[in-house]
Amino acid sequence: MTLDGRIIVVTGAARGLGRAFARACRDAGARAVVIADIDEARGLETAAALRAGQCDIVFMRYDQGDPASIAGFGEALAARFGHIDGLVNNAALATGIGGKAHDEIDIETWDRVMQINVRGVWLAVRALTPLLRKSALGGRIVNLASDTALWGAPRLLHYVASKGAVISMTRSLARELGPDGIAVNAVAPGLVLGESTEYVPKERHDLYLNGRAMRREQTPEDVTGPVVWLLGPGANFTTGQTIPVNGGFVFN
């Protein structure tokens, strides 16, 4: 569970799960953690709050919906670090889009979800793979999927479809990047308490709470352990996998 000497990039890290991942990577001994987010004010705040010890905490502005921003992000990382050892693809559009049936979702919202959650993940991998190939410790990619894609959550079709695509991309990328020594895996959290899920109706929270093998709410810290493990030496020969982290709401 150590990340000693590793440079880790976490997208969407200004708040919520991303912030928890960044903190966990710092605590696991990472040499540097890059906070990548579109929200510059909160990103800078998070970076300042997490600075401690020897870990270099850096904020870089990053817009997963903008191909030019993603390409520029890769160039900025190359200029500053020369290589990276891990990428956590956490950035996604999730807040405020649920609750509509499949025939109520407008095309603009559907396209925006796919632009950020699917195309953006692909472009991030494309931009940062050259830096991961230079890792002397073995490159790692951890994609954030969702257990909604495993059980087929209703009234959330665009998001569910996007996270199903992330799972499929994880498998394909694992085969493409395996020869380079880069492991690609995904974690599929359940309904995690946080700002991004405050809009979720009580009945959906109750569905998860009552349907889990472990009957309690899920917190960001419940997901950090598997992510840190997948980024480190313990997962050296694990690739192409999707790990549900949801207290037993759904089994893979």
| Residues catalogued as catalytic | 159
| 218 exposure class (CB count in 10 Å sphere: 0-12, 13-18, 19+) | buried
Q: Which residue do the tokens 């109520």 mark? A: 104
What's the gap between Cα 96 and its chain centre? 18
Residue 246, SS3 per DSSP? coil
CA distances, 105 to each of 115, 168, 189, 197, 216 (Å): 15, 23, 24, 19, 31
CA distances, 54 to each of 21, 26, 27, 31, 51 (Å): 17, 9, 10, 7, 9
Per-residue b/e over 128-139, b at no fewer than 16 CB within 10 Å?
bbebbeebebbb
Q: Are 84 and 8 spatial neighbours (Cβ–Cβ below 8 Å)? A: yes
Closest CA to 137 of 231, 1, 34: 231
**DSSP of 100-134:** --TTT--HHHHHHHHIIIIIHHHHHHHHHHHHHHT
Residue 207, SS3 per DSSP? helix
